[in-house]
Amino acid sequence: MAQSKSNIPDKAQHFLECGIEDCERNCEFYCNPCHQEMCKQCRDEHLRNPKTKNHEVVIYQLRKRQLPVKKCKIHSTKEIDLLCKECQIPLCAKCAATQEHEGHGFTDLETIYAEKFTLCQEENFKVQEYFLPTSQDLQKEIKEDVVEIKRIMDNLRTSMNCDVESLKSMIDKLQSENMKQLDQIEQSLLEDLKTQDKTFDNYIIYLNNLIKEFHGFLCSSDPTEVTGFSLVDMKIQPIPETTKPLPPVFTTGKYDKEDVAKLMGKISTSKIKPKTRKIKPLEVPSPQSPNIPTDEQLKSDKWKFKFKVHEALPLTYSQVKKFIVPGVKEVFHMSLDQSDKLRVSDLGGKLVQTDLQGNLLQKIKTSEGYGYHTVTQTGDLIFTDKDKKVINRITLDNNITKAIKTGAWRPLSIHSSHINGDILVGMIFNAEAKVTRYNKKGKELQIIQKDNKGEELYSLPHYIAENINGDICTSDVNKKQVVVVDKLGQHRFSYTGDRSRFCPFGICTDIFGHILVCDKFKIHILNQDGKFLSLLLTLGLSIDPSSVCVDDKNNLYVGADNSALVVMYNYLDQ
């Protein structure tokens, strides 16, 4: 069974229509007696009607909640709409007239229901707007602390390893010096022993010669030789004196674990009491008092946007200039080239470069398409050729190269990341669609095609952009959705606008992470979590917006699909 309008949750991602028959305008008001949603015009007619002129008509968010229908179990034809004050029992009017409740007081159950509903809604609002996001922020902070602690620990490990390596190097150096000294001592001792050994070599030769001489005398047959023998002349030289070597002594180092710890350093934990994480105070507006603009605020200058603000934003819009882009029939896509240049294309495949005065600087013929071109961080123009299934690059010196071949897939939309220079391409093949990430050199890095349930994310991704947090935002005209995935390709949310009439075209993001998407007659602004913030109406501009882009100076460019007009606004003043 379809959900009634009055039961649609306040945070639903679509617009509420007027409940008056044949009226398709947006609902802004609510008649409490009639329980009827109304636009401003229908409200005025309702209050002019003599029968309903005294009805209480309030802003939709302040409406009185309608009591759900519940039949009495005793009187099946009656509805429960009273509360017995004494018994605290819900009952019907027929039950209230029975003897059991005679003399009791009764309260309108719808009034109590509305009060309780409002109280529950306020508490739920606090949970959703404060407790849940605050807890998620704290959890995110904890996860960031995990990363930081790991980083600190890795740095400590590196420092400790460096300290050990330094100590090892010092020990190796001392060891080398000791070894060198030992080698020198050994060489000196060996040279001394070698000298002593030579001394005894000479002395032994002397002794052998002396033995021969003595032997000559003893064996001689000439008596005169023996008589000439003299002990004085033949006195034996004494044995040479030599010294025993004294080897060096090694004194072992005297150290223990504590001594080594002093050399290496040691780990200690902080004795300071850890700080309690800051929890921001509960300061959320009541869901029953939204920031609804007055009629005067909704009326704006002819050349300013008409808008309804659903969340506090630093939004101001003032026209800077407007100009006609020469060489194109309409403005279906824009890429910011340099601060004073713009790339503009129409559906016929005409792609031009113009300055902000509307002077034509360059014109090339390409295959037709929607969001099929982008400008890189280095100023190169990249554009797709869905028929030849290639992605072309034009450098600043006007050299054209085929940067990427996409095989069987037809590339439709393209975006060059200003975070890391990656190239994001939306493409189709038969009934399938996907977004592929390439690096600067054209190497495929990532394919995004299905969500975690295995369902197709895309049908016709004809515009694509990247947010400041790395989210990939795709405008899909077939699905009538803005599909947003994170940088890992995980599906975050899909924005459907007012569902039946939402037809997304050009898309971009700004320096605050807002997502801006064209819907032919208006521009939707979302925050980076998919929450609807503002609706920019351009009916007074005679322009049907089909393309949009924002530069780093907070200038908003809006291109038309019914002319070659580009209107430039100062946007999001800081």
The reply to whether 184 and 142 lie within a common domain is yes
155: containing domain: 137-220
The answer as to whether 234 is a domain residue is no
pTM above 0.75, yes or no: no
Inter-helix orientation angle 132-219/257-264, to 10°: 120
Task: Confirm whether 310 is domain-assigned.
Answer: no
**CA-to-CA dists, residue 77 to 74, 91, 95, 101, 121, angstroms:** 9, 13, 12, 20, 31
Tens of pLDDT, residue by residue over 457-498, are 999 999 999 998 889 999 998 888 999 999 888 899 999 887
pLDDT of residue 344: 93
Q: What sign for the dihedral angle of Cα 546, 514, 467, 549?
A: positive
pLDDT at 123: 83
The dihedrals phi and psi of 132, each to the nearest 5 degrees, come to -65, -55
Residues 189, 78, single domain; the answer is no
Predicted pLDDT of residue 288: 46
What is the pLDDT at residue 537?
A: 58
Domain for residue 423, yes or no? Answer: yes
Does residue 467 share a domain with residue 349?
Answer: yes
Same domain, 345 and 492: yes
**Structure confidence at residue 1 (pLDDT):** 34
Shared domain for 37 and 167, answered yes or no, is no
| Residue 201 maps to a domain | yes
pLDDT at 318: 65
211 shares its domain with 345: no
Point out which residues pair with 20 in neighbouring strands.
none
Residues 107 and 158 in one domain: no
Task: Collapse the DSSP code of 362 into the 3-class scheme (helix H, G, I; strand E, B; otherwise coil) and give the result.
Answer: strand
Q: How far apart are CA 435 and CA 427, in angstroms?
A: 6
Task: Give pLDDT, residue 541.
Answer: 55
Q: What DSSP designation does 540 have? A: G
Same-domain pairing of 345 and 453: yes
Residues of the chain with pLDDT under 70: 1-15, 61, 224-234, 283-319, 339, 499-500, 537-542, 571-574
Q: What are the two backbone dihedrals, phi and then psi, of residue 285, each rounded to the nearest 5 degrees?
A: -70, 150
**Pure H helices in 49-131:** 93-96, 109-126
Domain tally, the chain:
3
Query: How much is the pLDDT for 196?
Result: 92
Q: What is the CATH number of the domain that holds 59?
A: 3.30.160.60
132 located within any domain? no
Q: Are residues 96 and 145 in the same domain?
A: no
| Residue 544 maps to a domain | no
In a domain, 73, yes or no: yes
pLDDT the model gives residue 11 = 40
Q: What is the pLDDT of residue 215?
A: 82
- d(Cα 30, Cα 290) in Å, to the nearest integer? 15
User: CB within 8 A of 403, min separation 6: which ones?
Assistant: 382, 390, 391, 392, 393, 442
List pLDDT tens digits, range 19-77.
Answer: 888 887 888 888 888 888 889 889 988 989 998 988 888 887 677 777 788 888 888 88
Same domain, 182 and 42: no
Does 316 fall in a domain? no
